[in-house]
Structure 1
Amino acid sequence: MTADLGTVLGKAVTILRAFRPDDRVVSLAELVRRTGLHKATVHRLCGELVTHRLLDRAGGGYRLSGGLFELGMLASLERSLLEVAMPFLQDLYERTHETVHLGVRDGHDVVYIAKIGGHRQARVPSRTGGRMPLHCTAIGKALLAHADPALRREVLTGPLERRTPHTVVAPGILRGQLLRVAETGVAFETEESAAGLLCVAAPVLGRGDEPVAAISVAGPIGRFRPEGHVVAVRAAAAALGSTLSRRDLLR
């Protein structure tokens, strides 16, 4: 019985993960194609996901429901981190008026848990809740440079996806960049995750200098000068790290 339930759960998760950031409504036939599951199985599980408010029926297909958002906001680590970080992110945005990110590491990816941008924000591929490979983002490099050496070896010896012509895919070059990040406390991205995008980031270090998260400021090539925001980004990350460490000590 337990194995059956696990199989059903796995199939339901497969359906939910088949949705993409730019999807509005996805037809049953498209979900079948994306998941590789039997049509009857997808139809039955979608009905159950609708009942539990994880999917909505719309326009002859399905879309993700607000119930997923409610569950996501219960994620304790990300929620508590975001609550503490938001004033620092808002201050950084007021100083720079450029796109500000807060990201954490999940495996070999960055997961963005906050993004603040005004009317002139850069066209960036990031989105709240989205993910990007560590090696091609400033936040990812900031996290990777301060991560466990075993994780760095995994990333450097694994395949490095080329997202743009400027993505660093040579392990030796990336290793040198990470050493520089560890020395200076800031990481840079030059059109490595998206064409026309520049970025500077700093790690948020907790107790024992463990990388808890990273903060970045991004802007478009031609107008944005990442070097001019190093002090502000580094100060925001250090202040957030200090606040998180104090909270841990008071618990």
Structure 2
Amino acid sequence: MANSRSGETLTERLVRILDTFGTDRTVQTTAEIGRRANLPSSTAHRMVTELVECGLLERDDDQRVRLGIRLWELALRGSRTLRLRQVALPFMERVQARIREHTQLAVIDNDETLFIERLSHPQAGANITRIAGRLPLHASSSGLVLLAHSPVEVRERILTGPLRAMSPSTETDPERLHHLLAGFRRDGLVVAPGTVEAVSTGVAVPVRQGRGEVVAALSVILPVDTPTGSAVEELRFAAAGISAALGNQRG
């Protein structure tokens, strides 16, 4: 793609525009997009108009802009995460029905925990995560599973810091975290009370591609004083089922 006067490619500017949207910012004006993407007003208006014309963005009746359904459609075609979600959902539904709390599926992306599915019970406790939401790898039970089973170079990069505290119970000491990760790999389990919110405990297990690499983390979020035994049993049963099903897939 051609470079702008700043040296950026068109692709880089397009990604900056799309990155201005988030789970807590789903609709914006063109001026807000330009400001958040650090683009000149004329450039922002031209690029937003072009993205609307091709369906990647949409305008509402007030001329505010949101992500377009065509972007969602393109993202799902042949997506690795879509196949993972499809395989995992029946097992997640069983966990959610039995535990009656938030049940989540997460993967590692760009050194962060990316949540790709979540099922919730109407009476479930507090949980800040959202589908397509992200958290630091060291902060949540899902992230700790993914970090524990990630390549050595990823762990070293994350442990170099800085390690942001999400709550007073978030472990941010690299040496202690290093030892904790070794235990998580050994046990195939993370129980993390209060690491994201003081009122909640995250319980997570790894999901493998068959018997191979860890490709996801499956977790439930419990009220902090809830016993974890039943959740651990259900999660391990579900993760084994997902891993077996993934191992039987080809392509």
Q: Does 1:80 align with 2:83?
A: yes
Cα distance, 1:3 vs. partner?
A: 4.2
Q: Corresponding residue for 2:30?
A: 28
Q: Corresponding residue for 1:221?
A: 224
Q: What are the within-5 Å matches in structure 2 for residues 133-172 of structure 1?
A: 133-172=136-175
Unaligned stretches of 5+ in structure 1? Answer: none
Q: Corresponding residue for 2:56?
A: 54
Q: Deviations over 1:164-188 (max 9, x none)?
A: 2221110122112212211211112
Q: Deviations over 1:124-182 (max 9, x none)?
A: 12111121111111111112212222221111122111122221110122112212211
Cα distance, 1:39 vs. partner?
A: 0.3
Number of equivalent positions: 248
Distance 2:131 2:46 in 1: 30
- Aligned mate of 1:111, from 101, 110, 114: 114
Cα distance, 1:92 vs. partner?
A: 1.1
Q: Deviations over 1:5-63 (max 9, x none)?
A: x7222212211111121224212222222111100000011101111111111224211
State the TM-score, normalizing by the size of structure 1. 0.91
Q: Corresponding residue for 2:128?
A: 125
Partner letter of residue 101 of structure 1? Q
SS at match of 2:168: coil
Distance 2:10 2:25 in 1: 24
SS at match of 2:9: helix
Distance 2:155 2:130 in 1: 25
Q: Corresponding residue for 1:195?
A: 198
Name whichever structure is richer in helix by fraction.
Answer: 1
State the TM-score, normalizing by the size of structure 2. 0.91
SS at match of 2:219: strand
RMSD of aligned residue pairs (Cα, Å) = 2.0
Partner letter of residue 89 of structure 2? M
Q: Corresponding residue for 1:232?
A: 234
SS at match of 1:125: coil
SS at match of 2:117: strand
Q: Does 1:98 align with 2:97?
A: no
Q: Deviations over 1:173-213 (max 9, x none)?
A: 21122122112111122221233221100001225531111
Confirm or deny: 8 A CA contact 2:2 2:10 kept in the other structure.
Answer: no
Change (3 A) 1:75 1:129: farther
Partner letter of residue 63 of structure 1? R
Confirm or deny: 8 A CA contact 1:218 1:226 kept in the other structure.
Answer: no
Q: Does 1:68 align with 2:71?
A: yes
Cα distance, 1:75 vs. partner?
A: 4.5
Partner letter of residue 15 of structure 1? I
